[in-house]
Amino acid sequence: MVLELHEPVVALMREVARDIVMPRYRNLADHEISEKAADDYVTIADKESELRLAEGLAAILPEAGIIGEEACAADPAILERAGTGLNWIIDPIDGTGNFASGNPPFGIMIALADSGTTLAGWILDPLTGRLCHAMLGGGSHIDGEQVVARESGDDLPIAALAVYFMTPEERADIQRRADGAFAIVDIPRCAAEQYPRLVLGQNDVSVFARTLPWDHAAGTLLVNEAGGCCQRLDGAPYLVGDLRRGLLGASSPRLWDKAAGLLFG
């Protein structure tokens, strides 16, 4: 069933990127950008993208529920059923802060989950057209080619640490532990870009504090199906609907073990 969904989902995502997202890029009026919470933005393009994606996905697989980021912002009760039954998970524009400021990266992320387990995930970069997708048990692909996650090969593993949702104490502890053990690089503030970097050998380790499903369902599957490792800090798998904080991704199981020991051991 999941394989049959691939082409219509990709066609829908590309349509939304072409017709809704890109026409608004660097073309937003001030009143079309608002702040849901501190440093958490939404634009008219997010809202229009989610509506079109939800409508299209409901037509592709009517028996699945819809868990969209903006719908959950309006009604948090929707998120409570994210781990129950069959659901589409939608991030209409990931990296909205970048998009709203007229800068890359940003992306569209879709996942299909059943009772918390992610069955398939798609990540589209509207600027370049790059498509990453993964299916449970079916490997990971970028632009149609199967990919295997690889380490950067640098003397110090390259780490992107998304610590902005941590407490000041947690942030200081992570940075202290990482000092000298990793080469710290800036985060893209966009999970749709961060997860491919783990697969492509650009980054070796990523730490996430907040783990909402629209940000992580597709990406964790992409990394794991490529042979990398993305798990909870205690080694448990990432499940949609589990809203605990803390997620660690790495380009290989070896580096996951190393990073878990150094950063959280």
How high is the mean pLDDT of the chain? 95
Q: Which two tokens stand for residue 162?
A: 């998304």
What are the structural domains of the chain?
A: 2-147 (3.30.540.10), 158-264 (3.40.190.80)
Question: CB–CB of 196/145 below 8 Å?
Answer: no
Q: pLDDT, tens digit, for every residue of 87-109?
A: 999 999 999 999 999 999 999 99
Q: Is pLDDT above 90 for 246?
A: yes
Q: What is the pLDDT of residue 36?
A: 79
Strand partners, 17: none
What is the mean predicted confidence (pLDDT) over 12-28?
98
Q: pLDDT, tens digit, for every residue of 121-140?
A: 999 999 999 999 999 999 99
Q: Which of 28-42, 110-124, 181-195 has the lowest mean pLDDT?
A: 28-42
Output b/e per residue, 188-227; b: 16+ Cβ within 10 A.
bbbbbbbbbbbbbebbbbbbbbebbbbbbbbbbbbbbbbb
Q: What is the pLDDT of residue 82?
A: 94
Half-sphere exposure of 240 (CA within 13 A, CB side): 36
Question: CB–CB of 262/176 below 8 Å?
Answer: no
Q: What is the pLDDT of residue 189?
A: 94
The H-assigned helical ranges of the chain are 2-16, 22-24, 44-60, 69-74, 96-100, 168-178, 191-199, 213-225, 253-264
Q: pLDDT, tens digit, for every residue of 24-75?
A: 999 999 999 998 777 788 999 999 999 999 999 999 999 999 999 999 999 9
Burial label, 104 (beta-carbon count in 10 A; 0-12, 13-18, 19+): middle
Question: CB–CB of 205/160 below 8 Å?
Answer: yes
Q: What is the pLDDT of residue 30?
A: 92
Question: CB–CB of 151/251 below 8 Å?
Answer: yes
Q: Is pLDDT above 80 for 199?
A: yes
Q: What is the pLDDT of residue 164?
A: 77
Q: What pTM did the predictor assign? A: 0.96
Residue 175 CA to residue 43 CA, distance in Å, equals 32
Q: Which of 26, 162, 165 is nearest to 106 (CA)?
A: 26
What is the mean predicted confidence (pLDDT) over 148-172?
90
